[in-house]
């Protein structure tokens, strides 16, 4: 079960930052792909426009807190999103 905690608009950056909490009792921490699919279903946007900034699960808990950024266009995502280490090495 995914629950939105906070939503912040950043109009100058053309993005929305959303904080979610996922309750996954008696299950493993959800994979990043599963989390993105749940966010896509709730926010009605494309998978290509979402970046997960942090996925935090406390030791021994069944709750995960995550921070996601949702961009308005693919161009904004390319300009503003932080690139992870794997992407930097490929370029």
Residue whose C-alpha is closest to residue 69's, from 57, 58, 59, 55 = 55
DSSP codes joined into one string, the chain = -EEEEEEEEETTTTEEEEEEEEE-TTSPPPPHHHHHHHHHHHHT--GGGEEEEEEEE-TT-SEEEEEEEEESSHHHHHHHSPPPHHHHHH-
Q: What is the pLDDT of residues 20-66, one digit of tens each?
A: 999 998 888 889 999 999 999 998 999 999 999 999 998 888 899 99
> pTM here?
0.81
Which pLDDT band, with edges at 50, 70 and 90, does 84 fall under? low
pLDDT value of residue 88: 53
pLDDT value of residue 25: 87
Q: What are phi and psi of 59, to 5 degrees?
A: -65, 125
């Amino acid at each position: 079960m995914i629950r939105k905690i906070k939503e912040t608009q950043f109009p100058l950056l053309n993005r929305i930052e959303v904080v979610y909490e996922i309750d996954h009792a008696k299950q493993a921490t959800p994979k990043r792909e599963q989390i993105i699919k749940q966010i896509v279903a709730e926010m009605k946007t494309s998978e290509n426009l979402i970046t997960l900034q942090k996925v935090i699960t406390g030791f021994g808990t069944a709750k995960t807190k995550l921070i996601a950024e949702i961009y308005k266009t693919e161009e904004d995502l390319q300009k503003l999103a932080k690139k992870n280490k794997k992407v930097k090495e490929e370029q």
